[in-house]
């Protein structure tokens, strides 16, 4: 097999595994911001800026890492929020509603926050009514253990809390007044170490839709680096395994072809050399026979001449 044919075969091999190599490439493999293994896993449609190429994520899903936190920028919030968890199967994201942040998201929620300019919306499948209440600071704080203090909305004389709308202010026997009730997707975890509630806002996305891929146990991503088409493919480990299996099988086939070609060439060369040897042997015998014949004829001619001269 000539060098051109080998090169052509290897080129076809690389092209046949290009899509598998892209989908399962190391640059796009799932990653985390925290080195201790905690925190949300980042995979398509999300990607970590400055660590993964743009084709690893969908526009609007870029996250960054800061002090072990996973941050995502929300244009309408005019800042970054902390991502606590990502559910890829249900296509939902949980962000922390920090009441002490510089751009308090609770103030924006109170004013009527929407997520225009981002691919996210409130998860309407898990929406409840929550009421903001304002209470005088003279009250006993222990009576509001089950509600969340929104420090960024407080003033020197009043504190602001948020509680589920099913709880009524009248039952608290405090100088509290309802401010506003809004529909929000919220969840919370209770941290017994600091006796406080950590509230999360639940968001979802519809584009890109990868639920069909997830239902089949596969991953989802761009078809290639220059395409906006979304395709399903095996996850990183399966993709690499399949890639290596294809490469191994292809290399094995290539070696087999090379071995067969070498064997054919050796066999052909042996037959050709054998034929040349036989032809040379026949020619040598013919030359020898001709030489013997000429010697014999010359001897006969000389003998005839001697007899004639003696007569």
DSSP codes of every residue in 201-212: EEEEE-SS--HH
Q: Give the pLDDT score at 207.
A: 92
Question: Residue 291: in which H helix or E strand, if any?
Answer: helix 236-310
Q: Both tokens of residue 295?
A: 């010697």
Q: Give the residue ranges of the chain where pLDDT is below 50.
A: 7, 14-21, 145, 194-195
Q: Both tokens of residue 157?
A: 């004389």
Q: Give the pLDDT score at 32.
A: 94
Q: Give the pLDDT score at 16.
A: 47
Annotate 272-305 with b (16+ C-beta within 10 A) or e (fewer). eeeeeeeeeeeeeeeeeeeeeeeeeeeeeeeeee
Q: Give the pLDDT score at 84.
A: 92
Q: Is the dihedral of CA 261, 265, 266, 271 positive or negative?
A: positive
Q: Give the pLDDT score at 149.
A: 77
Q: Give the pLDDT score at 17.
A: 47
Q: How many CB atoms neighbour CB 210 within 10 A?
A: 22
Q: Give the pLDDT score at 173.
A: 53
Q: Give the pLDDT score at 21.
A: 44
Q: Give the pLDDT score at 241.
A: 59
The CB-side HSE value for 113 (13 A sphere, CA atoms) comes to 24
CA distance 133 to 97: 17
Q: Give the pLDDT score at 298.
A: 65
CB–CB of 82/98 below 8 Å? yes
């Amino acid at each position: 097999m000539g060098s051109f044919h080998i090169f052509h075969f290897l080129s076809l091999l690389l092209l046949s595994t290009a899509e598998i190599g892209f989908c399962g490439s190391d640059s796009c493999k799932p990653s985390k911001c925290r080195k201790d293994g905690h925190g949300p896993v980042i995979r398509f449609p999300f990607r970590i800026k400055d660590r993964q190429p743009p084709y690893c994520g969908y526009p609007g899903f870029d996250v960054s890492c800061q002090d072990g936190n996973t941050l995502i920028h929300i244009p309408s919030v005019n800042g970054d929020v902390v991502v606590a968890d990502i559910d890829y199967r249900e296509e939902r994201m949980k962000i922390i509603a920090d009441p002490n942040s510089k751009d308090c998201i609770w103030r924006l929620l109170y004013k009527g926050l929407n997520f225009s300019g981002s691919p996210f919306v409130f998860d309407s499948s898990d929406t409840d009514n929550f009421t903001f209440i304002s209470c005088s600071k003279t009250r006993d704080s222990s009576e509001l253990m089950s509600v969340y203090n929104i420090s960024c909305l407080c003033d020197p004389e009043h504190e602001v809390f948020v509680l589920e709308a099913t709880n009524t202010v009248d039952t608290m026997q405090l100088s509290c007044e309802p401010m506003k009730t809004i529909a929000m997707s919220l969840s919370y975890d209770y941290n017994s170490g600091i006796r406080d509630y950590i509230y999360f806002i639940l968001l979802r996305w519809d584009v890109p839709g990868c639920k069909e891929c997830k239902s089949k146990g596969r991953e989802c991503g761009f078809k290639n680096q220059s395409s906006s088409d979304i395709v399903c493919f095996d996850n990183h480990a399966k993709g690499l395994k399949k890639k290596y299996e294809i490469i191994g099988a292809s290399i094995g086939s290539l070696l087999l072809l090379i071995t067969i070609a070498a064997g054919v060439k050796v066999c052909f060369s042996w037959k050709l050399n054998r034929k040349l040897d036989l032809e040379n042997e026949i020619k040598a015998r013919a030359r020898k026979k001709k030489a013997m014949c000429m010697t014999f004829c010359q001897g006969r001619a000389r003998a005839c001449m001697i007899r004639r001269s003696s007569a």
